[in-house]
Structure 1
Amino acid sequence: MIANPAGPTGEPRELVTVVATKDIVADDVAVVELEPAKGERLPAWTPGAHLDLVLEPDLVRQYSLCGDPEKPDAWRIGVLREADGRGGSVHVHDRVQVGDKIRCRGPRNNFPLVDAAEYVFVAGGIGITPMLPMIARCAARNRPWSLVYGGRTRASMAFLDELAPYGDRVTVRPQDEYGHIDLAAALGEPRDGVAVYCCGPAPLIGAVEEYCTAWPDGTLHVERFRAAENVLDGRNTAFEVVCDYSEMVVGVAAGQTIVDALAAAGIAVPTSCREGTCGTCETVVLDGVPDHRDSYLSPQERVSNEVMTPCCSRSLTPRLVLDL
């Protein structure tokens, strides 16, 4: 399945939003609420979904929706300012103002809330954002759930007031007060029927992944803001890509990405993150074996080799046939 509803050769539909509010709610965290511009209508979304914000023609970034899916006329995002990041968060903090128009793509949901008997949420820093609507959904449905929320300091942790009414279901653990999150206390013993959701810095995700190796398959669901460590590394050799729809054969040089090679041949594949985290470029594989270097596909999807992310992944075979 290709994630882009507009098809593999066209950009996802864009719509224009207006910045209704912008507030600094914690150290280096801005919360922005977007409303539809005149003549636009915001598409529905589900907990775990994210938006692509087109901040500049060459500056597209993904942010999780953290508002209320039942509020059809507003989208809310939380943005952590990262001075050493790739420029998107600094742009939002320093340049975006109330009244500005921002083009958006989506929403898309690569981190959906699955049906489970019990939920355990583990959030680090701005990783709390996709979990807020998930928690609200669990609470509305009277599903058992708990959250452990860590951050550098209490002042850096956004939405604490919003979480306070949930009482002892929420455990707040600023690192300067408690150290690292106690995963044994947060998760307990392996058991069936539990969905564990984790979002936050790479070290936290790695620790939760290691802890959950003893749990039933499919228990853990993660969303990353950056590519997993070393996942983009590997041997880069030349290969060919066959575009099944057009029957065009495109050579991919060593060190060249598939999407760049295709673009040079006049075939546009929608991309955003360019490091295999957002799923924008997900493409069906018809033949050949991909060299998966993404941080987006599940282990089962990688083993099946039915889809790949051509923004960063390569080929283990001399030729790949893609549904393009």
Structure 2
Amino acid sequence: MSKLALQAVSKSFGSLEIIPPLDLTVEHGEFCALVGPSGCGKSTLLRIIAGLEPATSGRVLVDGEDVTGAEPPERGVAMVFQSYALYPHMNVSANIGFGLKIARRAADEIRQKVDAAAEKLRLDALLARMPRELSGGQRQRVAIGRAITRDPKIFLLDEPLSNLDAALRGGMRVEIARLRQSLDATMIYVTHDQVEAMTLADRIVVMNKGRIEQIGAPMDLYHKPANRFVAGFIGSPSMNFFDADLRGNAGGELLLRLADGTEIVANRSAAPIAADRVTLGIRPEHIEFGDGMAADNRVSGTVQVVERLGCDTLLHIDLSGSPLVMRQPRDLADIHAGERVTCRFPTEACHVFAD
């Protein structure tokens, strides 16, 4: 396990600044996920850490040693690519051990490390197969195995599951979580899929346009997003947002008025509110519906679409011209498109953003 520190690292291509100067520390044994939309700079940052892309400015330190100018093999990191990058003419065993062969390690050492990695990844029975004979999930495990044999200080994973279908992604998430526990390694994982980040990471770094918007534990980002961008990116389905006027601010409670005149009392704000125009946010799963609702903070709209997912139901509602998604952990068999429904925004579940 090793500690990574980025100090004022930036990246520009000519006059185009992709990553403004940023600082980031990943502790020993931590699983850190870099998330954000496509083009936000997360893969570029990973390549800078790996030494595949030079930083325009700043320093990269591994265990306090400045490796900014070091070549990739000298940094003590191993990278797993999105495309697997397997050699098609080599079997699984040769692919896993290729890095060791290039390093001129002894044949016995190569065999031992290949066997150990294959056992961890449950590839024992596949060592003689060629890449074309493997599934996508098996190919990804081979790529991870090749990284394991190098005994790196830090594992870098660049969207390793994006080429897999939904069922395989779920299985590979479990594989990576299990592998992390057995290796007790420092890992930095790049993904645009916030579900992967939420289920795997100790800490999540949310990036936007090359900047770090917020860093925190998964549930901290879910419950206490620093701004509207983070609130909209973390959580599935995404948080609902509504333009609102701030009508009052007393005793920790905010009185808001929506576009249709509905008044909402909220008490959750990520930062002090000084603006008159704000954004109200509430997660689909936090909206109340059915019998027993309190009389305050009620809103009404017309159901547009009903998604019945088995374990829960999503209602897509037109709220006076604004879209609202509500999630209920039950089968709302008696609700259909075109019906008028009333639901409630609990005060404690409302987020207010000034940005």
TM over 0.5, shorter chain: no
More helix by share: 2
TM-score normalised per structure 2: 0.29
- The structure with the larger Rg is 2
